[in-house]
Structure 1
Amino acid sequence: MSDYNPFARREQHSSQALIIHRITTLVTYLLLVITAFYYTFSRPESQGKHHAPGHTIWGNNIATPFAQNSIITSIYWIVLLALQLVYAWSLYSKNTVYVTAAANIGSHYIANNLLLFGFIHLWVRNYFWLAEILLLINFFNLSLAYFRHSKTPRLIHIGTVSGPLAWNFVALYWVGARAVGTDRLAARIVANVFIWGILAYGLFFLVAFKDYTMGFALSVLSFSTGVGQFLTKNPILQLQWIFAFTVGALLFILSLGVGFPELLGKERIGGGEVVSEDRERAPLLADE
């Protein structure tokens, strides 16, 4: 059955399967990048007099309890897209560890690109609830990728799994707040509670997987939310930006503590963490 399952984990991949992964990776990557670039600066054509006019990607980033800062989040995605080129290169590597890891994550990555392509088209055309549904589907896709392939080499892991998953989680709040479309006191209070969900989500990965990349990613996105709140609302009368900065600072400090030994080149003691490419390669070297 696994022979027909594109999401199955395999110890090796045929040359034909690798060719398919290389082609679909390139096509879906370009599709997503071109679409995101176009709608960052252009809005969709008019949908007719019975539809609200479309907006650019950041044109729909109005003042909600989870509005983000366009500059910080855009830089975040530029870094992710650059790291995804490392992933694409891994499909051509002569190192079997990288090739196998990249191919195993490939179907999830391709699905992520296609779902985000659809999300952008819905988002800029004001179909917020449909956009939220695509994000929810992608959340399960990326979560499955994370739990099934948590030992992917670090650079591949950041660009294709932890980085996109962290953004997808925060985007569920971002798009959901836009879909609800209210800024009443009750909505603000609910948002003040939900913002701490980002901290809880990050703590789960820091404790269970020792994955500081998720912590740092969520920290950056929390700071983006804090700056977005500070600039779109009267900061004196709001608490959301304070909570967002607090969550970002806590995640940054805790992630630094978890990742400090590995960042210094020391091996961490304990199980559950995402391993680096050198540690992933170790069993293969031992067999030689």
Structure 2
Amino acid sequence: MPEGAAPSRYNPFARREEHTGQSILLLKITTLISYLLLLVTAFYYNFNTPHEGHHPWRTIWGQNRPTPFALNSIMVSIYWIVLFILQLVYAWSLYSSNTVYVNAAANIGAHYIANNLLLFGFIHLWVRSHFWLAELLLIINFFNLSITYFRHSTTPRLIHIGTVSGPLAWNFVALYWVGARAAFNNRLPERIVGNIFIWGYLAYGTFFLAAFKDYTIGFELSYLSFATAVGQFLTTIPVLQLQWIFAFTIGGLLFLLSLAVASGRSSPFKRGEIVSEDRERAPLLADE
């Protein structure tokens, strides 16, 4: 073994060209456990509150109080149901006879499991009203998923959507959602700050569309922007608030930009402007 290569042998987050049968078996087991742990926890706390203690504990959506970043529970629940289904595609890839899919799934395996465990902890903190600790776990997971994205941006598309871009888009929006729940007191200055920060959705989505030509995260952020808009419309007085208008506008812009990049014909972002030509031909990115 070359000098300096030993540490990566024991690093579960290291990228490898091939994986042993033992490591794949371990990944299959831990992936299934973490997936079921998050799925069951999310389903349970969707309908139930914690029973211990006497704090103002609520269900997942019971904590969705009126803030500038309140979400529509139905739209976001549908979003996560789709992600959970697509994550079964990821799990299936570990059993595939195609080594490209196996290696792609195995390389993001540790990040995926970390995501599931961090979200498992987040849900427990969120429903128990520990908002700042919940926000801290989201920040940690944001770095975890961002690293996954930048190191494995050429993962096959269906795996990428379910385990990388989809969770990353939601995690980014959830940082606003939880942060607003922790700090918001419905005062005018905070509303104004919310009106400004909502445009971060557009900036974040545009970055991925321009740098990676990745329309999947563009569509995901567009959908979540619409979920924010509907949530704002239903939890505030529309005539007196601007947040729902901004969110609808951002969702529409991201949808049109993502559609342009996906079609490849009228994209506002020039080919090769930011990333190399080889990178643009990667499986994830828009076709030539």
TM superposition score normalised by structure 1: 0.91
CA distance in structure 2 between the partners assigned to 1:5 and 1:273 by the alignment = 29
Question: Is this contact kept in 2: 1:227–1:241, CA < 8 A?
Answer: yes
Q: Which residue of 1 aligns with 2:3?
A: none
1:13 aligned to 2:16?
Answer: no
Question: Is this contact kept in 1: 2:17–2:103, CA < 8 A?
Answer: yes
Query: Aligned-pair distance for 1:181?
Result: 3.0
CA distance in structure 2 between the partners assigned to 1:60 and 1:23 by the alignment = 33
CA distance in structure 1 between the partners assigned to 2:53 and 2:138 by the alignment = 23
CA distance in structure 2 between the partners assigned to 1:195 and 1:140 by the alignment = 20
Q: Secondary structure at the match of 2:108?
A: helix
CA distance in structure 2 between the partners assigned to 1:242 and 1:76 by the alignment = 21
Unaligned runs of 5+ in 1: 263-267, 280-288
CA distance in structure 1 between the partners assigned to 2:142 and 2:86 by the alignment = 20
Q: Secondary structure at the match of 1:43?
A: coil
Q: Which residue of 1 aligns with 2:43?
A: 37
Query: Aligned-pair distance for 1:276?
Result: 2.4
Query: Aligned-pair distance for 1:46?
Result: 3.7
Q: Which residue of 1 aligns with 2:64?
A: 61
Question: Is this contact kept in 2: 1:154–1:275, CA < 8 A?
Answer: no
CA distance in structure 1 between the partners assigned to 2:170 and 2:281 by the alignment = 19
Structure 1 runs of 4+ aligned residues shifted over 2 Å read 268-279
Using CA pairs under 8 Å that are at least 6 residues apart, name the structure with larger relative contact order, 1 or 2: 1
TM superposition score normalised by structure 2: 0.91
State how 1:99-114 maps to structure 2 within 5 Å: 99-114=102-117
Distance 1:274 1:229, change over 3 A: farther
Q: Secondary structure at the match of 1:150?
A: coil
Query: Aligned-pair distance for 1:278?
Result: 11
Opposite residue 225 of structure 1, the aligned amino acid is T
Distance 1:235 1:274, change over 3 A: farther
| RMSD of Structure 2 on Structure 1 (CA) | 1.7
Question: Is this contact kept in 1: 2:50–2:127, CA < 8 A?
Answer: yes
1:275 to 278, 282, 286: 282
Q: Which residue of 1 aligns with 2:33?
A: 27
CA distance in structure 1 between the partners assigned to 2:81 and 2:151 by the alignment = 26
Unaligned runs of 5+ in 2: 1-6
Deviation sequence 1:9-66 (CA, Å, 0-9, x none):
0000000000011000000000000000000000011413xxx221000000010000
Q: Which residue of 2 aligns with 1:145?
A: 148
1:172 aligned to 2:175?
Answer: yes
Identical residues among aligned pairs (%): 70
Question: Is this contact kept in 2: 1:154–1:274, CA < 8 A?
Answer: no
Opposite residue 42 of structure 1, the aligned amino acid is N
State how 1:193-212 maps to structure 2 within 5 Å: 193-212=196-215
CA distance in structure 2 between the partners assigned to 1:230 and 1:58 by the alignment = 16
